């Protein structure tokens, strides 16, 4: 497993865990640290940097799973983030996956936990038959 974040404090709890590679990297302004690598799973939570979205699909190995959840348009009514740059547009995760991944589950909804927020969630699989 690989954990990546630019914040050393966020990674501190992962340090020393057997089987976990910790990478401190700024994915927004630094070099993409995963060139030539393929992952069986990619999980993203509460994070959006649109230029990275295609890369998340590209690093999925055949059969690999993408699980992504973050804040969506409408969240500005409930708090932060409220900046549209950090809120998914309607159907944005669907558009990311469509034609590249098999969509297993998708939600665009108001959640109550841990606090009221608008979120989008997707679970999608890199099926080999899609690339034929």
- CATH of residue 104's domain is 3.40.50.150
- Closest among 2, 5, 9 to 41, alpha carbons compared: 2
Give the structural domain span for 10: 1-28
Give residue-wise pLDDT tens across range 51-71.
999 999 999 999 999 999 999
pLDDT at 8: 85
- With contact defined as beta carbons under 8 Å apart, do 23 and 15 qualify? no
pTM: 0.88
- Other beta carbons less than 10 A from residue 68's beta carbon: 22
Please state the domain count of the chain.
2
Low-confidence ranges of the chain (pLDDT < 70): 128-132
Number of H helices, E strands in the chain: 3, 6
């Amino acid at each position: 497993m690989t954990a990546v974040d630019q914040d050393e404090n966020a990674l501190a709890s992962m340090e020393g865990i057997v089987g976990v590679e910790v990478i401190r990297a700024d994915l927004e302004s630094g070099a993409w640290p995963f060139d030539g690598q393929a992952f069986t799973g990619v999980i993203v939570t509460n994070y959006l940097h649109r230029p990275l979205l295609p890369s998340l699909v590209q690093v999925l190995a055949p059969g690999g799973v993408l699980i992504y959840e973050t804040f969506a348009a409408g969240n500005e009514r409930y708090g932060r983030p409220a900046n549209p740059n950090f809120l998914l547009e309607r159907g944005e995760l669907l558009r990311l996956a469509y034609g590249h991944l098999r969509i297993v589950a998708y939600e665009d909804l108001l959640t109550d936990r841990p606090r009221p927020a608008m979120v989008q969630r997707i679970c999608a699989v890199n099926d080999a038959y899609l690339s034929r």
